């Protein structure tokens, strides 16, 4: 009887992952037929969904828990150009449209395969041409994001190209344990097409990513402008061995109403970005930003090498600035380390400027060498410099305002 019982357990025991090709569910992969329903049926029925050897035109699809979406090399998941295929939804408390690929309250989601996920964003970029504030969530001209992992855990995006989403490309939103590795992200010369935006998310690994986009290469966020709260912070984010080309740089902010802590970026290469290292906020969107480290960074032809400003979208305040009351959304930048940085061909070496009521404190610059047309300006800040050299073609290398304290070692 014991042998028989064991046999029954073995037969009825492990449930193995079911692998399905989307063509078995009616997908054509001809680049013309809309394969949305067929792809979604495959996702609903299977654990491992495969796209191979074709261009699969689709509207939004949603991944469930324990799903692997494999877009094989030579295959493309292509977003539909028909705006009507993207239903209206709410995201981050704001009205928008459904992303091309998303998960909601899902766990153990994998996107991989060596192929391409293309948002076909040109129609959306034309749609917002000339529209004021088109890059802000909640406008009357919403655009679909590329990949959104909403309140999801244990997500892996590896060995894939993500490109041309109508809006932000990859967004972990209130997500935990997300790895984005060996990924190429492309949308150069397009509006507000951030490559990766961790938003109120934790334990994020961004590794060996190359991005060339129309906005931030990375923008760590945690809350909207004038957010009523509550907002969760973004924490424990590691960014390593990445190359950033066209784009606005590696940013924290500007919308950080929940705060950002424990970010480590190392071995990052910038080539022609608008900014290099950038931490940005303002009185209407800030919070605590601390325990931030940038190490082993090289930049070539970056317009502003280092930017730490609590006046975004301005870089530096104009004229005298009066202190304001400290509130929930006051930026508080402290305990920031920037080490082993070289930059050549910059327009501006850097700007470090806090608010009168909330100066930047605990900022350390160590072994930093920058060659630029204009130097570095520091105001409303406490900075420690160790082996910092700024070679400015015009004016002083480093200008320190009476409102700032700089200690040189």
Rounded distance between C-alpha atoms, residue 194 and residue 211, angstroms: 9
- Is residue 94 within 8 A of residue 224, CB to CB? The reply is yes
Compute the half-sphere exposure of residue 68: CA atoms within 13 Å on the CB side of its CA. Answer: 14
User: Three-class SS of residue 169?
Assistant: coil
Query: Taking the CA atoms of the chain, what radius of gyration do you get in angstroms?
Result: 23
Instruction: Order the strands of the 147-150 sheet from edge to edge.
Output: 61-63, 101-104, 147-150, 170-173
Q: Do the Cβ atoms of 130 and 156 come closer than 8 Å?
A: no
- Grouping H, G, I as helix, E, B as strand and the rest as coil, residue 40 is helix
What DSSP character marks residue 114?
Answer: B
Query: Do residues 168 and 147 make contact, with C-beta atoms less than 8 angstroms apart?
Result: no
- State phi, psi for 285 to the nearest 5 degrees: -160, 15
DSSP 8-state class, residue 2: H
Please tell me whether the peptide bond between 230 and the residue prior to it is cis, using omega within 30 degrees of 0.
Answer: yes
SS3 of 234, please? strand
Q: Helix/strand/coil (H, E, C) string of 118-147? A: ECCCHHHHHHCCCCCCCCCCCCCCCCCCCE
Give the residues across from 338 on adjacent strands.
Answer: 294, 365
Active site residues per annotation: 215, 248
What is the rounded distance in angstroms from the CA atom of residue 98 to the CA atom of residue 42?
19
């Amino acid at each position: 009887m014991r042998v028989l019982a064991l046999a029954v357990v073995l037969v009825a025991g492990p449930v193995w992952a079911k692998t399905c090709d989307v063509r078995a569910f009616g997908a054509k992969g001809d680049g013309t037929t809309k394969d949305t329903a067929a792809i979604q049926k495959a996702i609903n029925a299977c654990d491992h969904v495969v796209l191979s050897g074709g261009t699969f035109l689709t509207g939004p699809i949603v991944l469930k828990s324990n799903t692997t979406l494999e877009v094989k090399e030579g295959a493309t998941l292509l977003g539909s150009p028909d705006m009507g295929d993207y239903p209206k939804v709410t995201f981050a408390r704001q009205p928008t449209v459904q992303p091309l690929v998303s998960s909601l309250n899902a766990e153990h989601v994998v996107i991989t395969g060596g192929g391409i996920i293309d948002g076909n964003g040109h129609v959306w970029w034309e749609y917002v041409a000339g529209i004021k504030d088109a890059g802000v969530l909640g406008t009357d001209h919403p655009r679909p994001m590329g990949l959104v992992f909403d309140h999801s855990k244990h997500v892996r995006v590896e060995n894939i190209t993500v490109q041309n989403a109508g809006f932000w490309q990859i967004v972990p939103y209130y997500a935990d344990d997300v790895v984005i590795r060996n990924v190429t992200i492309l949308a150069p010369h397009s509006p507000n097409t951030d490559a990766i935006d961790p938003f109120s998310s934790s334990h994020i690994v961004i590794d060996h990513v190359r991005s060339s986009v129309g906005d931030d290469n990375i923008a760590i966020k945690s809350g909207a402008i004038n957010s009523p709260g509550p907002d969760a912070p973004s924490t424990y984010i590691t960014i390593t061995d990445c190359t950033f080309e066209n784009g606005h740089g590696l940013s924290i902010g500007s919308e950080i109403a929940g705060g950002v802590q424990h970010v480590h970026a190392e071995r990052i290469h910038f080539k022609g970005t608008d900014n290099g290292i950038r931490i940005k906020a303002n009185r209407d969107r800030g919070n605590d930003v601390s325990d931030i480290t940038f190490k082993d960074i090289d930049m070539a032809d970056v317009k502003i090498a280092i930017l730490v400003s609590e006046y975004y979208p301005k870089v530096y305040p104009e004229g005298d600035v009066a202190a304001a009351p400290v509130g929930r959304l006051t930026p508080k930048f402290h305990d920031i380390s920037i080490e082993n940085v070289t930059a050549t061909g910059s327009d501006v070496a850097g700007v470090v400027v806090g608010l009168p009521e909330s100066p930047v404190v605990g900022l350390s610059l160590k072994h930093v060498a920058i060659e630029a047309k204009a130097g570095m300006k520091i105001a409303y800040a406490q900075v420690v410099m160790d082996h910092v050299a700024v070679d400015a073609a015009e004016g002083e290398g480093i200008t320190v305002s009476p409102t700032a304290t700089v200690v040189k070692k």
